[in-house]
Amino acid sequence: MGVGIEVTNLNAWYGATHTLQDINLNIPPNQATALIGPSGCGKSTFVRCINRMHETNPIARVTGTVRIGDLDIYEDAKPVEIRRRVGMVFQRPNPFPTMSIYDNVASGLKLNGYSNRRALDEIVEKSLRNSALWEEVKDELKKKSGASLSGGQQQRLCIARALAVDPEVLLMDEPASALDPVSTSKIEDLIFELKSQYTIVIVTHNMQQAARVAEKTGFFLNGRMVEFDSTHKIFTNPSDKRTEDYITGRFG
């Protein structure tokens, strides 16, 4: 089951650029939360802070508190442990091109020391089923490389790879922006199915997508969280005029 995420006074920098400024919000468990806003407003930096990828940049730094359940991710655990608990799916599918479909899914498990073949087989199958890909690839798991799949299949493979290490949170940074409409619909259906098991945070420029898949939505602008509320309220009766101007297309 997913866990809640509590963010308190989060600030982030790239060099001298103050990318995120005083972000405070509570992301509920076992729901999908969408983050919207114009390009460069801090959405992707925010999700990178949640799994401690932001600090992999040598000129980046973070202050503030992020708690996943009872765990303070910057005080109580090492980055590698956080990235196991917090899966990440990127804008463009990034399967390991020289690995088979099977080995793509099993890669994180093997890095964590899994060697029992039966256990690996079971987790790979479960992860591919949970990412709605099993029926399409089950006969070619070790014959085809991950890179041989279609774009939509590759993205679902990357979701399976993230799920295989049994995370509590799944971050999705524009997961469908590079996909065709049919593949996009499959990813959205998958989000609906997965949020009963995981806490999902999705960054999207597609406001219709946010309205379709998310219970909560946050609007970022110029590195700040302008508004965070139920998706229905954000899109029908926002509290801040800047939110209304963005969702009605006056800017962005």
Which two three-digit tokens encode residue 148?
């041989």
For the chain, domain boundaries: 5-247
3-state secondary structure of 58: coil
Closest among 214, 217, 221, 223 to 242, alpha carbons compared? 221
CATH architecture assigned to 5-247: 3-Layer(aba) Sandwich (3.40)
Which two three-digit tokens encode residue 222?
């110029």
- Within 13 Å and on the Cβ side, how many CA atoms surround 221? 14
pLDDT per 10-residue tile (average), the chain, 252 residues: 91 95 96 95 94 91 95 91 90 90 92 84 94 93 93 93 93 88 89 92 92 96 96 96 92 70
Q: Is the pTM of this model over 0.85?
A: yes
Question: What's the CA gap between 152 and 133, in Å, rounded?
Answer: 10
Q: What is the model's pLDDT at position 59?
A: 95
Question: What's the CA gap between 111 and 235, in Å, rounded?
Answer: 43
Under DSSP, the state recorded for 114 is: -
Q: What is the model's pLDDT at position 103?
A: 94
Which two three-digit tokens encode residue 232?
């229905």
Q: What is the model's pLDDT at position 252?
A: 66
Q: What is the model's pLDDT at position 241?
A: 95
Which two three-digit tokens encode residue 130?
């949970």
Q: What DSSP assignment string belongs to 125-171?
A: HHHHHHTT-HHHHTTSTTTSBGGGS-HHHHHHHHHHHHHHT--SEEE
Q: What is the model's pLDDT at position 233?
A: 96
Q: What is the model's pLDDT at position 114?
A: 78
